[in-house]
Amino acid sequence: MSGYRMVVIGDSFAEGRGDPDPAGGFVGWVPRVAHRLAIPAADVLNLGAYGATTQDVVDQQLDKIADVDTPLLGIAVGGNDLVRAYDPDGFRRNLRTVFDAVAAAGRRVFTHDYPDIPGKLPGLAEEQRSALQVRFAEANAFLAGLCAERGVLRYELSTAALCADPDMWYPDGIHPSALGHRTIADEIAALLA
């Protein structure tokens, strides 16, 4: 078994979109959480991928961590499911599969819920925005129950103060800005500490 001190699986939220790295790619909240917890960069594995859905995590990321031993594992996925062709049963089934696959004795698993992305997306008709907000609320309720059932720490991003601050969001309305990623890192690190 190969070991890391922190592993994160998921989508562009985990990848760090919205927080460009001058050296190329993205920074994001993951390495910042690691830094705040005194975990060296070499001991962090971040599989966050742009556009990834829960099905992508099941199909492409779980195998990559099957033999990885880590005491801390983050899950940041589901937003793409909610804004694309949504299959609620598949979404719930996939999240259960992911949570079951990463559960291990002594491992701390953490995730975040879904912020009001529909409220930030430009150009949506009000009816479409409202329908998406209902979908996000239902997904958050399901995730809260799943976290309670599985003992997973949940950062309540949906109710965090940063969600109402436009400076915390990248102009696309989907991803946090550099300031948003820093703030999320502070709050997740505080949750884990």
Residue in this structure with the two tokens 């079951």, named with its chain if needed: 100
pLDDT at 149: 95
Query: For 177, which DSSP code?
Result: -
Estimate the crossing angle of helix 178-192 against helix 29-36, to 10 degrees.
40
Laid out side by side, the sheet with 6-10 consists of 44-46, 6-10, 72-76, 108-112, 153-155
Please report the pLDDT score of residue 28 as a whole number.
97
What residue type is assigned to position 192 of the chain?
A: L
Task: Return the pLDDT at 35.
Answer: 97
pLDDT at 50: 96
d(CA 49, CA 130): 28
In the chain, domain spans? 2-192
Residues contacting residue 79 through CB under 8 Å, at least 6 positions apart: 11, 13, 114, 117, 174
Distances in whole angstroms, Cα of residue 93 to Cα of each of 87, 88, 99, 143, 149: 10, 8, 10, 12, 15
In the CATH hierarchy, which top-level class contains the domain 2-192? alpha beta
| pLDDT on residue 19 | 94
The token pair at 147 is: 């976290």
Mean pLDDT, 10 residues at a time, over the chain (193 residues)? 87 96 94 97 97 97 94 96 92 97 90 91 87 95 97 95 88 90 96 92
Nearest to 102 by CA among 126, 77, 82, 139: 77
Sequence-distant (≥ 6) Cβ neighbours of residue 80 within 8 angstroms: 11, 51, 52, 53
Give yes or no for a contact between 26 and 16, defined as CB atoms under 8 angstroms apart. yes
